[in-house]
Amino acid sequence: MPEALLVGNNLAVLVAAVELGAAGHDVVLVTDGRGPGGHFRGLRTPEADFDLGMVLLESAGSTADDDLATYRPRVRYDWTRFGARVDRWQAELVRPVRTPTPEALVEGRRRPDHLVADRLDVLAEGGFRPPAPLPREDPRHASAKVAGAAYDALPYREAAAANHGEDIHARLVEPFAEKLLGPAAGTLLARYHRAGWLPLYWPETLAAACAGQPTGLAEYPFWTTPTGFVGDVVRTLETRLAAMPTVQVHDGAVTSLALEGSRWTAATADGSWSSERPVLGVGADRLQTLLGLPVQERAPGASVALVCCLVRGAAITEPVGCLSVVDREYATYRVTDQDALAGLDPAEHRVVVEAGPATAARLKDGADVPGELVAELGRLLGITDPSADVRVVKAVAAPGAVPAPTAASVAAEATASDALTAACPGALLTGALLGGGATSMNDQVVQGLAVAAQLP
């Protein structure tokens, strides 16, 4: 009988397994037939390792180190209260490398990125009209987006119009949002704007930027690993886990998960294991199925088309680490060069092109989407002959890959999470079982550290 039983493949259970194993505890990790690490595992092919789009490391930039037992998964960005702990964990694991400033293509010109990096230089240079003043007392003011009651139901488009003004939003944000989210761009809940890599600035900040004045807003930094593959975080954890004599990893699918008295038992074709406090890290629908509960229909996210390429480095005349493509003439909404992000220049660069729901649907229907996106990649990176210099390694249509929370879906998720918690007495839930807002890399790191601190 193990001291700790972990069921699932998300990053949180992997972090917890490594922490518990390092402390010498007897651990069983049952991955339910999937590779550990979930989304953050990346795509590993014989040719190269690719992250699934723009996957980067973040830092809270603070010295916060609160009690892990106080983590609140339904509060957006609550992981930042444990920023120092997350930073130490990342630094010890992979030695993060600061990436170059992301860029954005706006009206045919590449500039420092205003969507994810908070670089607002574009406003003064582009002659943008500032937003109208919005009193801080107005419930739509962006200062209220974390805790204000209005933001429990306020759509992103409405909040952005009030804070950004028509000119800035229409030219700098809306085209990107429409490509990335499709119809969900009109229903996304404003509080969850970063789920779609969309900004929500204070109007005072934008007015200052339009006038060329200091905004007090520093560039938001990102990091990657020395190899340029953030999936190395998961690979390093797997390597450590494999070297721990007290840890067993079983990759078979779970055939049953049941509570008998005060003990939970998880079974696969290879055996069964019991615990009073299992850690669960499967999807909500998967857990509902295992428990024999009705599977709750969830609001779909926006589907994504991903084309993973190897590009001859010498053919790239306009290099970039990460480029957000705002202009509507492109189906592509983002290009990520993993090697450029890490400061590497191999003979072939690992480049991922992303496009939104409309393109993903066409890829699923058999259209030559890879060829079309490779042609766009040639224009975006200055590649004269992309048909000769770009090799497509893998093209993937990822259904519902980008969350697009609405007021209704957030409420439904909270109800489902409460129901699963009630149905799993004694169990410790992680990842999507705690709600869609608790699935970022740093949230799951905090969850893994927190559950390990509670066990055995």
**Average pLDDT for residues 79-103, to the nearest whole number?**
93
What is the fold of 302-402? D-Amino Acid Oxidase; Chain A, domain 2 (3.30.9)
SS3 375: helix
Between CA 210 and CA 131 the distance in angstroms is 9
pLDDT at 442: 95
**pLDDT of 64 strictly over 80:** no
For residue 6, the number of C-alpha atoms closer than 13 Å in the C-beta half-sphere is: 35
Check whether domain 4-55+58-95+230-298+405-454 has CATH 3.90.1150.10, yes or no: no
**Residue 228 corresponds to which tokens in the numbers above?**
């340029």
**Average pLDDT for residues 436-440, to the nearest whole number?**
84
**Residue 404 corresponds to which tokens in the numbers above?**
């697009």
Between CA 111 and CA 125 the distance in angstroms is 10
For residue 247, the number of C-alpha atoms closer than 13 Å in the C-beta half-sphere is: 24
**pLDDT of 347 strictly over 80:** yes
pLDDT at 60: 75
pLDDT at 58: 93
pLDDT at 297: 76
pLDDT at 438: 85
pLDDT at 2: 83
Domain boundaries, the chain: 4-55+58-95+230-298+405-454, 120-210, 302-402
| Domains 4-55+58-95+230-298+405-454 and 302-402 in one fold | no
pLDDT at 435: 82
pLDDT at 392: 98
Q: Indicate the pLDDT class of residue 17, thresholds 50, 70 and 90.
A: very high
**Average pLDDT for residues 39-49, to the nearest whole number?**
96
pLDDT at 123: 94
Between CA 319 and CA 53 the distance in angstroms is 17
Between CA 14 and CA 9 the distance in angstroms is 7
**pLDDT of 257 strictly over 80:** yes
Helices (H), 182-274: 203-210, 232-242
Between CA 287 and CA 417 the distance in angstroms is 11
Name which of 354, 355, 349, 353 is nearest 317 in CA terms. 349
Between CA 420 and CA 23 the distance in angstroms is 29
User: Please, what is the average pLDDT of the chain?
Assistant: 95
Residue pLDDT, tens place only, 106-147: 999 999 999 999 999 889 988 899 999 999 999 999 999 989
pLDDT at 414: 86
Beta bridge partners of 138: none
pLDDT at 372: 98
Beta bridge partners of 28: 5, 248
Q: Which of 66-80, 174-188, 297-311 has the highest mean pLDDT?
A: 174-188
**Average pLDDT for residues 183-208, to the nearest whole number?**
95
Residue pLDDT, tens place only, 356-415: 999 999 999 999 999 999 999 999 999 999 999 999 999 999 999 999 999 999 888 888
**pLDDT of 241 strictly over 90:** yes
